[in-house]
Structure 1
Amino acid sequence: MGLSSHLPSPRGVMRAVTSRSGTDRPHWAARIEDVKNSVVSGVLRRLRWDLRLQPFHGLGSGGRVHVLAKVLYASPGTPADFHDQPVHDMRTMAVRGWRNFAGQVAPHSTVHVLLGDHEFTVRADRSGIVDAHLEVSLPPGHHQAVLWTVPGNEVTADITVVPPEAEVGLISDIDDTVMVTWLPRPLLAFWNAFVVHQSSRQVVPGMPMLYQRLAREHPAMPVVYLSTGAWNVFPVLKRFLYRNGYPDGPLLLTDWGPTNTGFFRSGPEHKHRALAQLAAEFPTMRWILVGDDGQHDPSIYAEFAERHPELVDSVLIRRLTEPEQLLAHGSRRPRDSSPHYGGTPLTLTAPDGHGLLSALQRTGRIRS
């Protein structure tokens, strides 16, 4: 992109650390992965491979901005904006599904971030993920952060700064809530990695219309997609949401691979942690929580509502069909049956977006 010659002179260079730097001793599988990453990284450096950044959509409030990205190695000559393509570019999005899983991450890399006229220095974690909360004031609306490891490989990351007048926000699950793949959960990672065409995924009927109506009802409403999917499939999911008319917004996904505690990270723990962070970032925001009853969404939302009843506007749960329940967890019945919602927020269930929209209209939350 060649932005290095056009970067404004910052008023001051600030340092920030990522929020993912845990001190617990990693699981043995994670330690093996660390050794592999170290050895492969050394080989690629000797072959003069370059560092490249994959930016993700970030979210901000009046005084803090959440910046997300991934640092990877790329062969010499790979464009700096290899991952920084328009979401509507179908050809690049089709390639990047499998390539993101095959790429080599660059752990603990130093990354520079320019937001407005403030420059920050952050570090990626052991998985090459930059997950940083930066103290900076930006006006409400759409912004772009400039990220680079060395001059010449700059990329831009979208940042949505929520206006202070926003009173209601939307948090949505992805798999089986806005998108149906009709595959057992253990195969979802493979499916998302290698099957990237629009026709391969089914939109849940009525869900785009429901989200658009909610956005019209609450014009300042931020939309956050919270999923246990891996960051590797960010471009594929972003394109799916765009092509099916869902409101734009940040995606909060997870790392791929072993963690401090086991071979795979805990999906419920990821969602609990993300909800807690959003509650801390937006202490006056009332959230519409949307999920499905095929996994743990009802109990996760119930626990959040019990802890923060003042922050929950309503809970909308899509009821899966029996075949979908079987694929989701091996039983015909919902995994979480009738969880208790602290503070008794409005809780509605329906098989699709049309039913949820009708239920909201009957309650008066959305005008008919």
Structure 2
Amino acid sequence: MADRIPAPHAAAEDAPPSPLVEEREPLITEHVATMLQDRWHAFRRKSAVRRGLMPTVMSFTGYGTTGWIRVLSRVVMAPDEAFENGRRLAKMVEDGMRGWHNFTSPPVPYALVQITAGGQSFTVRADRGGLVDAVVEIQLEPGWQTVTLQSNGSEPATSDVYIVDDHVVTGVVSDVDDTVVVTYLPRPFLAAWNSFVLDEHARTPTPGMAVMLHRLLEAQPASPVIYLSTGAWNVAQTLSRFLSRNLYPFGPLLLTSWGPTEDRWFRSGMEHKVSQLDRLARDYPGVRWLLIGDDGQHDPEIYADFARRHPDKVRAIVIRQLTPSQAVLAGGRANDPRDTTPGVPWCYGPDGATLSRQLEALGILDAARPEAQPQTWPMTAQLSVVAPEAGHGR
């Protein structure tokens, strides 16, 4: 991961480690898969330099508090005309239409990136895949703020960062695939299909989920909305445009790096979700989370595990039930763990409307206000939108 400038996080309770995360001894020698991947990236990077490509910072949405921010971005080699303000231009068909082109820009490993925010500058370093995931201490006002990113003479790029007010006590974490996006593919092929093949316009939003999320925001103003997925960072901007086009609330995406790690051939999606949830518990010790996912295998288990280890950090768990055909493609349904989390309410339903009614019964949503008004996206986020109608959301 990128260099981390320590921030004054309040310590969460000493929760036991999750049994869902496999404990592994660190390897002394680098995994052969990462060595091969690094050599492949080095070859592509040299080719990119010969073709006149330049380092470019791809900006992602971040989050923080009034005392620190978490900045997310990725440094890749790309033509000057391919990006504007850290986002692929709408005319670049390869990013807007076919996902596999998102993987053709070679990353710049260990690139130095300058972050400018609130009149201050910080220098951080990307990881071996060009990903910047850095926390810096800075005082910013609550709400949407903009930071500027630049690397090795690249054009400056701006990134939206949501600063959570110190008094906020509720947040929303939502899964993506089969939760806010309907898919009809076997799970083993889902990640590859969404990443390499699928036209972003062909993704189908889950009925009623966008309205439910906006109603949650109206009931709990200033709450953060964070999308937690096992998808690759390569498609972050494509997913952001999908969320915008379908009027989902605007919020950070927490994705994974594509490829092997130093000690395994394939990354663990469950481990990614568990570790990010634990991090959010540390980042926002006073926030109770609404955890939203689906019953196609692991979300109920991951959320139940989090609730058992952090019982005061969960306000409710909301699970979208897949249809029988979707459950078959997902490899079956997850076991029902509701009886393992006493005191934590659960909602189960096939769509946002059904789940909303259950949230009304719990007093989390206002039954007298069944509709919600989508909020305007930050100005910098609108620069990455392809279609004119996609300028709504949070």
What band does the TM-score fall into relative to the shorter chain? 0.7 to 0.9
Helix, strand or coil at the partner of 2:276: helix
Cα separation, 1, equivalents of 2:277 and 2:363 = 26
Match of 1:61 among 65, 73, 78: 65
| Aligned equivalent of 1:7 | none
Cα separation, 2, equivalents of 1:291 and 1:363 = 18
Helix, strand or coil at the partner of 1:188: helix
The CA deviation at 1:322 is 1.5
Helix, strand or coil at the partner of 2:81: coil
| Aligned equivalent of 1:113 | 115
Cα separation, 2, equivalents of 1:345 and 1:339 = 8
Match of 2:268 among 262, 266, 269: 266
Q: What is the TM-score of this pair, normalised by structure 1?
A: 0.87
The letter for the 2-side match of 1:335 is A
Is 1:348 the equivalent of 2:352? no
The CA deviation at 1:91 is 5.8
Is 1:206 the equivalent of 2:208? yes
Helix, strand or coil at the partner of 2:235: helix
Q: What is the TM-score of this pair, normalised by structure 2?
A: 0.82
8 A Cα contact 2:70 2:136, kept in partner: yes
The letter for the 2-side match of 1:179 is V
8 A Cα contact 1:279 1:311, kept in partner: yes
| Aligned equivalent of 1:366 | 365
Cα separation, 1, equivalents of 2:177 and 2:43 = 35
1:142-190 Cα deviation digits (max 9, x unpaired):
1111111134521111111111221100000000001112111232234
8 A Cα contact 1:305 1:341, kept in partner: no
8 A Cα contact 2:142 2:163, kept in partner: yes
Unaligned residue ranges in structure 1 (runs of 5+): 1-15
| Aligned equivalent of 1:139 | 141
| Aligned equivalent of 2:46 | 42
The CA deviation at 1:311 is 0.8
8 A Cα contact 2:230 2:272, kept in partner: yes
The equivalences for 1:7-156 within 5 A come to 17-18=3-4, 24=27, 25-75=29-79, 77-78=80-81, 80-81=83-84, 83-84=86-87, 94-95=96-97, 97-156=99-158
The letter for the 2-side match of 1:204 is T
8 A Cα contact 2:68 2:137, kept in partner: yes
Identity among equivalent pairs (%):
40
The CA deviation at 1:337 is 3.0
Cα separation, 2, equivalents of 1:119 and 1:239 = 29
Cα separation, 2, equivalents of 1:105 and 1:324 = 35
Cα separation, 1, equivalents of 2:82 and 2:346 = 48
Q: CA RMSD in A?
A: 2.3
1:34-63 Cα deviation digits (max 9, x unpaired):
122233323433554311111110001121
Shift in alpha-carbon separation, 1:144–1:266, aligned structure 2, 3 A = same
Match of 2:174 among 154, 160, 172: 172
1:213-265 Cα deviation digits (max 9, x unpaired):
11110011110000001111112211111111111100001111111232221
The equivalences for 1:311-350 within 5 A come to 311-329=313-331, 331=332, 334-338=333-337, 340-350=339-349
The CA deviation at 1:104 is 0.8
The letter for the 1-side match of 2:361 is R
Runs of 4+ in 1 over 4 A off after TM superposition: 22-25, 88-93
8 A Cα contact 2:187 2:329, kept in partner: yes
Question: Aligned pair count?
Answer: 345
8 A Cα contact 2:87 2:237, kept in partner: no
The letter for the 1-side match of 2:99 is G
